[in-house]
């Protein structure tokens, strides 16, 4: 268990602010692309 905690601490020490910003930008772009391809919700199921 101590070895896993030490590995996690070493990995988290390598992550900096730029890595987090890059991940957030990539997630945002992916969501934008998926949202642009989504069909319009017309609500015509009750007709």
pLDDT score of 47:
56
Q: State how many domains the chain has.
A: 1
Identify whether 15 is part of a domain. yes
Which pLDDT value is given to residue 26?
96
- What pTM does this model have? 0.55
Residue 39 falls within a domain, yes or no? no
Write down how long the chain is.
47
Distances (CA, A) of 17 to 7, 29, 31: 20, 18, 21
Show pLDDT as tens, one digit a residue, over the chain (47 residues).
Answer: 889 999 988 888 888 889 899 999 999 999 988 887 767 767 666 55
CA–CA distance, 44 with 25 (Å, rounded to integer): 35
User: Which uninterrupted H or E stretch holds 37?
Assistant: none
What range defines the domain where residue 7 resides?
A: 1-32
Tokens of 43: 């609500």
Locus of tokens 């015509």: 44
Give CA–CA dist 46/9, Å, rounded. Answer: 55
């Amino acid at each position: 268990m101590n070895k896993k905690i030490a590995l996690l601490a070493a990995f988290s020490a390598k992550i900096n602010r730029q890595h987090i910003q890059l991940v957030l930008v990539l997630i945002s772009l992916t969501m934008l692309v998926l949202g642009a391809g989504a069909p319009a919700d017309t609500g015509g199921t009750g007709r």
